[in-house]
Structure 1
Amino acid sequence: MMKKTIVLFDLDGTLIDSTPAILASFRFACGEQGFALPQDKVITQFIGHTLEDMFLGIGVQKERLWDFIESYRKFYRANMEQGTKLLKQAREAIDLAFNFAHLGVVTTKRADFSTKLLESFGVLHYFSVVIGIENVRNPKPSSEPILKALDSLYESKGQIPKQDCFMIGDTELDLQAAMNAGINGIGVLCGYGSEQSLQRFCMPIHHNTYLAVQALKSHLKA
């Protein structure tokens, strides 16, 4: 079957739960850098943003930012797999979407980390492109990561109208990036964004990613 649809997924909170790995990496970075560790809820409210914004958000001074990021990545690289799991029904969502669409991942996590995690869960082969923070100058909510993913897919799969391209994500960054890129955004409530924050974008919102893909498939058939 010739696929005429593109579905892009966010990663954290949309396909995977890496909260334990992220929190452990923050604890390590703050400890190594001699910084008072904030409460977990202070950190989790920033998940989905860049590491720069996350550390600035907890009060790290700008001139010390890269020391913290290097500490974080050193620990995360070694421990990310044991602190990460696929979200409930995420595997089924990926498999269902693959039946009717070309798939990609657009995340603020590093693409090399993301690829390693997807491979460890046995789902990397479903995705034709993975765009991470190191692949762009301007992360979400900029349109750049989505447009870069689309360009890669257009090159390998052929041109597909933007009206048939979708971004599924759990935060307003994902939906705003979709809007900025001129494609369709779909919100999910299995991650870090609140229903209220996602509703601001007047886009479909679903309880989890599998239900979002299921609804999208039904919509495309209608």
Structure 2
Amino acid sequence: MADYFWDFDGTLYDTYRGMVKSFVEACTAYNFSVERDQIYKSMRRTSLHQTFDKFLKQVDSKKKKMIVDKYQIIEKSEQADDLPFEGAVEVCNWVIKQGGRNFLVTHRNKSALSLIERDQFKNLFTGYVTSENNFPRKPDPASLNFLCEQYQVDKNNAFMIGDRALDVNAAHQAGIKGILFDPDDIIVAKVVPDRRIKRLLEITL
């Protein structure tokens, strides 16, 4: 009987397609050229915020804000096409059948909850933390610790599933195990996950 904490972007949902597309289009709208593949790798290896900082470091603050605002508008329109990864719903159901619970821990706002509600598996989650909760961003373990305390989670039998090193780091700092979901072998980091998987259904094996 184990509890599982899920990252949203790139773990529960395949949102990078829309995020990368939105990033490129927002930059292009302001005559700033970026490569899709480089943006994707940066988002996977660091974060959206760090990717903006890295690729727009030569852009003045006013123009950067305009690009970020444009990104948010485009990305919101792309959300209609965002879907769960293969096996996501099945694994969430499996967790519950094993007597465990699912929790959502995301830097995204409540749009994440709207998507899992749209796809009819919000009821598979016992609790969640979104950006509206104003916790420090992962790898800070504050959001995980909050949920563990609120729902009396046994940290010896709990896992964080994420697609980036920062998810595993957050898990370890919270005293739980970290599962790295790396479907395309992009993550190269010093962090050592307790498990490394390419398909979510591997969790059930």
Class of the TM-score when normalised by the shorter of the 2 chains: 0.7 to 0.9
Structure 2 residue aligned with 1:40: 36
Identity of aligned residues (%): 21
RMSD across aligned C-alpha pairs, in angstroms? Answer: 2.3
Question: Using a 3 Å threshold, how does the CA distance of structure 1 residues 127 and 59 change in structure 2: closer, same or farther?
Answer: same
Q: CA deviation at 1:117?
A: 1.6
Question: Using a 3 Å threshold, how does the CA distance of structure 1 residues 74 and 151 change in structure 2: closer, same or farther?
Answer: farther
Aligned-partner Cα distance in 2 for 1:5–1:22: 32
Structure 2 residue aligned with 1:203: 194
Q: TM-score, normalised by structure 2?
A: 0.85
Aligned-partner Cα distance in 1 for 2:16–2:199: 17
What amino acid maps onto 1:175 in structure 2?
V
Aligned-partner Cα distance in 2 for 1:14–1:187: 9
What amino acid maps onto 1:52 in structure 2?
H
1:74 corresponds to 2:73: yes
1:169 corresponds to 2:162: yes
Secondary structure of 2:26's aligned partner? helix
Aligned-partner Cα distance in 2 for 1:192–1:17: 16
Secondary structure of 1:142's aligned partner? coil
Q: CA deviation at 1:46?
A: 2.6
Aligned-partner Cα distance in 1 for 2:137–2:27: 24
Question: Using a 3 Å threshold, how does the CA distance of structure 1 residues 63 and 205 change in structure 2: closer, same or farther?
Answer: same
1:139 corresponds to 2:137: yes
Q: CA deviation at 1:187?
A: 1.8
Secondary structure of 1:187's aligned partner? strand
Q: How does 1:117-132 map to 2 (within 5 A)?
A: 117-132=115-130
Secondary structure of 1:128's aligned partner? strand
Cα-to-partner distance string for 1:149-196 (whole Å, 9 max, x where unaligned): 3244x2xxxx232112210112111100101111111122226743x4
What amino acid maps onto 1:184 in structure 2?
K
Q: Comparing 130-139 with 167-176, which one deviates more in the overlay? A: 130-139
Aligned-partner Cα distance in 2 for 1:28–1:189: 26
Q: Structure 1 unaligned runs (5+)?
A: 216-222
Secondary structure of 1:37's aligned partner? coil
Q: CA deviation at 1:55?
A: 0.7
Q: TM-score, normalised by structure 1?
A: 0.80
Contact 2:27 2:34 in 1 (8 A): no
Cα-to-partner distance string for 1:17-48 (whole Å, 9 max, x where unaligned): 1122112211332134x141311111111325
Counting matched residue pairs gives: 201
Structure 2 residue aligned with 1:218: none
Query: Of the candidates 4, 8, 13, which is equivalent to residue 7 of structure 1?
Result: 4
Q: CA deviation at 1:137?
A: 4.1
Secondary structure of 2:107's aligned partner? coil
Q: Structure 2 unaligned runs (5+)?
A: none
What amino acid maps onto 1:69 in structure 2?
V
Q: How does 1:24-103 map to 2 (within 5 A)?
A: 24-32=21-29, 34-48=30-44, 49-60=46-57, 61=59, 63-64=61-62, 65-82=64-81, 84-99=82-97, 100-103=99-102
Contact 2:180 2:193 in 1 (8 A): no
Q: CA deviation at 1:86?
A: 1.6
